[in-house]
Amino acid sequence: MRLLNLSIIFLLLFSCHSSQPVLKKQIDPYQYEINKKVIATNGAIASAHPLASKVGLMIMQNGGNAFDAVIATQLALAVVYPNAGNIGGGGFMVARLANGETISLDYREMAPGAAHRDMYLDDKGNVIPGLSTLGHLSAGVPGTVAGLFESMKYAKLPFEQLIAPAINLAEKGFVITDSEARGLNNLQPDLKKYNTVSNIFQKEHGWKAGDTLIQRELANTLKRIKDRGAAGFYEGETANLIVAEMKRGKGIISLEDLKNYKAKWRTPHSFTYRGYKVISMPMPSSGGVLLNQMLKMVEPFPLAQYGFHSPEALQLMVEVERRAYADRAEHLGDADFYNVPISVLVNESYLKQRMQDFKAGLASTSEDVKPGKIPMNGSEQTTHISVMDKNGNMVAVTTTLNNSYGSKTIVGGAGFLLNDEMDDFSAKPGVPNIYGALGGEANAIAPGKRMLSAMTPTLVLDNEKPFLVIGTPGGTTIITSVFQTIVNIIDFKLSTEEAVNKPKFHHQWYPDHVDVEPEFPQNARTALERMGYKINQRSPIGRTEVIRILKNGKMEAVADNRGDDSAAGY
C-alpha cells in the first residue's frame, strides 16, 4: 500500500539533538509501504505498523541488536499506533540470547495501592458496566517504561538513540493509514466522555487516511524519559500530570504507585512439543501455561494425519481449548499473590486425565467440562513485535493498553493514553470480562497485584536452534492463535503465510460456542455443527507476527494480513 506522497517530504533523522551522532539511515513518515513478507539474512522484524518495523530495522542496520530494535519499535508504536502501542500500558518480553540463555520480562500493569476486590461493584454487589473498561478507574499502574529500561540490560546502543525516532515521529508527525483514521473516528464520542481536557486525537470533522498526526505533548513526555530515564515517567512532571489527571477524573493511581512500579524478570515457561522446544511467558500471563496444556493435550493424537481444518483436527483442538480455558478461569492469577498449581496443570498425566471424557465426533458441553481438580498438595487492543538479529538473538514482545485505545483517557498535558487493564482482573466471580473470560479468587483484585493476561510472546527451537518467534494480540484468542499457528507449522506443514493468515477458530470454555473468523470454510463449519457445536462468526482473530528461520539460515518475517502489520529485514 502506498500512502500519500506529500509535496514536502521531510526525512526523519535518527538523532534528535545535535550532541548525538546523526545516523545516515532515514525514514520518510509521509510515504511508506506495508510489506507482508520479507526474507532477510542479517535481521528481521514484524510489527503492527510499517513505520515501527522500519524503525526497528534501521536500528539493527545501525549496529543495534534485536533488543535495541524491540525497544525502539515499542517506542515508535507508542506514537504511530496509539490504539495499542503505548507508554501508558504494559507488556511481556520473551527472549533467547545468542548464547542460548532464555529470559522473560514482566512489565504488566499492577493494581494501584487503593484498589480493592469490589471496586467495580455497586452497593448491591453487581458489576457497574464500563467502570473497569473506560476512563480513569480502569487504568492499572503502567509498566511499559520500566520494561523498556530493564530490557536495556541486553541492548547495545544508547537509549537516546533508541527513543529518537519516536520523538521525531511525535514531534514532526506522520501520515495515518485508513484503518488508523477509522479507529480515531470511532473513538471520538469516547474521547469526549472520558477526558478532562481536550487532546490531539479529537477532530471535529473527522480523520482521513493521509492526514498528518503531530503529538507535541507526547514528544515532550518522551523527551523527559530520554533525559531522566524511567524517572522521567514514574517521577517528576510526567508522574505529576498522571496524578493530576487521576484527581480530575476520580482515578486512584498515586505518586507512590508510580514510584513503586517495578518490572520483574521471570523464568520463561518452557516445555517440548513433538521434539521442538517451546519458550513462552510465565505467570502473570496465562499464555505459557495454557499453550503448554493445549499442545500437550493434542500431542498424543496424529494431527498431521487428520489434516489442516479437517473435522477431526478441528474438534480435537476445540476440546483442548475448552479444557485449558476452564482451568484458566479457576486456577490462574498472579502467582506472586495466589498459589497457582502450575506444575500440576502442565503435568502430562493430569492433561491425559483432562482428555479422558473427550469423544471423537461428539461435542462436549462446558457444563460437563469443569476445571480440573487439583490435589491439595499441588501448589482487543494489544500488539506484538517479533525480532531476530544476525547474531541469533530472538525477541518476542507483546504489549497492550487492553482495549483499542485502552481506557480512552489521555493524560492531560502528557499526550498518552492510559490502559484499561484493570478489566483483566475478575471484577466478580462468574461475571465475564470484556473478552468473556471468567475468573474467581485466583484473579481477584488486590493492591499491587498484576491482572491475569493471555499475552503469549513465544519462541520455538528446533534441535536447540532458533526456529520461530511468534505472538499476537487478540485478548483471550491470543493463546489459541499462537497454539494454532504452531500446530499449522509443525503438524500441518503450512507455509508461514498460510499458518498466519488461514482462518482461525477459538473456544474459551464459556461462552460455550466455537468462534470462527468470517472466512472460516463452510464445510468445516458444517462438520462441527453436525457434531453438536454451536458456531459463532466473529471479527478477525489475532494479528500474528512470525519470524521463521529457514533451513538455509535465512529469516522469513511474516506480518498478518488482518491489519496494517508490516515486516522488514535486511
Cβ proximity to ligand DON: between 109 and 171 the closer is: 109
Phi then psi dihedrals of residue 353, to 5 deg: -65, -40
Closest distance of CB 81 from ligand DON, Å:
12
Which one of residues 473, 504, 556, 558 is an interface residue with ligand DON (CB under 6 A)? 473
Cis peptide before 447 (omega within 30 of 0): no
- Residue 475 within binding range of ligand DON, rule CB under 6 A: yes
Q: Which of residues 393-452 bind ligand DON (CB under 6 A)?
A: 400, 402, 421, 424
The stretch near ligand DON (CB under 6 A) out of 162-170, 267-275, 374-382, 517-525 is 374-382
Instruction: Select which of 382, 458, 480, 544 is catalytic.
Output: 382
Which one of residues 16, 152, 184, 455 is an interface residue with ligand DON (CB under 6 A)? 455
From CA 557, how far away is CA 414, in angstroms rounded?
A: 34
Cis peptide before 457 (omega within 30 of 0): no
Cβ atoms 89, 419 nearer than 8 A:
yes
Closest distance of CB 449 from ligand DON, Å:
14
Which one of residues 221, 453, 481, 488 is an interface residue with ligand DON (CB under 6 A)? 453
Q: Which of residues 55-74 bind ligand DON (CB under 6 A)?
A: none
- Residue 381 within binding range of ligand DON, rule CB under 6 A: yes
Cβ proximity to ligand DON: between 168 and 400 the closer is: 400
Closest distance of CB 133 from ligand DON, Å:
11
Cβ proximity to ligand DON: between 38 and 342 the closer is: 342
Sheet holding 514-516, edge to edge: 505-506, 514-516, 535-537
Closest to 228 (Cα-Cα) out of 220, 68, 474, 386: 220
Closest to 2 (Cα-Cα) out of 564, 570, 569: 564
Q: Give how far Cα 326 sits from Cα of 294, 330, 394, Å.
A: 12, 7, 32
The stretch near ligand DON (CB under 6 A) out of 27-35, 131-139, 440-448, 471-479 is 471-479
Contact residues for 387 (Cβ-Cβ < 8 A; gap 6+)? 43, 44, 45, 56, 60, 66, 69, 70, 73, 393, 394, 395, 396, 397, 469, 547
How many residues in the shown chain lie near ligand DON by CB under 6 A? 14
Which one of residues 29, 268, 474, 569 is an interface residue with ligand DON (CB under 6 A)? 474
- Cell numbers given for 263: 518490572
Which one of residues 257, 319, 380, 512 is an interface residue with ligand DON (CB under 6 A)? 380
Which one of residues 478, 490, 558, 567 is an interface residue with ligand DON (CB under 6 A)? 478
Q: Which of residues 383-402 bind ligand DON (CB under 6 A)?
A: 400, 402
Closest distance of CB 474 from ligand DON, Å:
5
Which one of residues 161, 199, 364, 382 is an interface residue with ligand DON (CB under 6 A)? 382
- Residue 496 within binding range of ligand DON, rule CB under 6 A: no
Phi then psi dihedrals of residue 270, to 5 deg: -120, 150
From CA 199, how far away is CA 184, in angstroms rounded?
A: 12
Cβ atoms 546, 470 nearer than 8 A:
yes
382 part of the active site:
yes
Owner of C-alpha cell 533525559: 227
254: amino acid identity, one letter: S
The mark string for 331-370 relative to ligand DON (x by CB under 6 A, - otherwise) is: ----------------------------------------
Cβ proximity to ligand DON: between 289 and 490 the closer is: 289
Q: DSSP secondary-structure letter at 83?
A: T
The stretch near ligand DON (CB under 6 A) out of 164-172, 242-250, 343-351, 467-475 is 467-475
Cβ atoms 466, 96 nearer than 8 A:
yes
Owner of C-alpha cell 471520538: 188
- Cell numbers given for 516: 470462527
Cβ proximity to ligand DON: between 402 and 566 the closer is: 402
Q: Give how far Cα 111 sits from Cα of 65, 132, 223, 443, 502, Å.
A: 33, 12, 27, 12, 37
- Residue 47 within binding range of ligand DON, rule CB under 6 A: no
How far apart, in Å, do the first and last CA atoms of the chain sit?
20
Closest distance of CB 531 from ligand DON, Å:
29
The stretch near ligand DON (CB under 6 A) out of 187-195, 319-327, 336-344, 375-383 is 375-383
Closest distance of CB 418 from ligand DON, Å:
13
- Residue 454 within binding range of ligand DON, rule CB under 6 A: yes
Phi then psi dihedrals of residue 272, to 5 deg: -110, 150
Closest distance of CB 381 from ligand DON, Å:
4
Give catalytic residue positions. Answer: 382
Binding site residues, ligand DON, CB under 6 A = 380-382, 400, 402, 421, 424, 453-455, 473-475, 478
